[in-house]
Amino acid sequence: MFPMSFEQQVHCPFCDSSEVSMMSHFGTFQLVRQYFCSDCRSVFEYIRWQENSGDQTQRGSE
């Protein structure tokens, strides 16, 4: 898993925890990244272009 930097404050869409780590630079599509939540142990995807715009909307996956 890849370490998170302070400017990339991704939160888990299931439990709202900030204890997440990046699992993969690419998810089911090239525009998403896969993350793992250490608190609820869920895997979810986050749209990459949102990191640059400051928008924190996430899309969960199962």
Strand partners, 20: 37
Residue 30 is predicted with a pLDDT of: 81
Query: Where do the structural domains in the chain lie, given as residue ranges?
Result: 1-49
How buried is 7 (Cβ within 10 angstroms: 0-12 exposed, 13-18 middle, 19+ buried)? exposed
3-state secondary structure of 55: coil
Residue 24 is predicted with a pLDDT of: 87
Residue 60 is predicted with a pLDDT of: 53
Per-residue pLDDT of the chain (62 residues; tens, 9 = 90+): 555 444 468 899 999 999 999 998 877 778 888 999 999 999 999 887 755 554 444 455 44
**DSSP letter, residue 52:** H
Entry pTM:
0.63
Strand partners, 33: 46
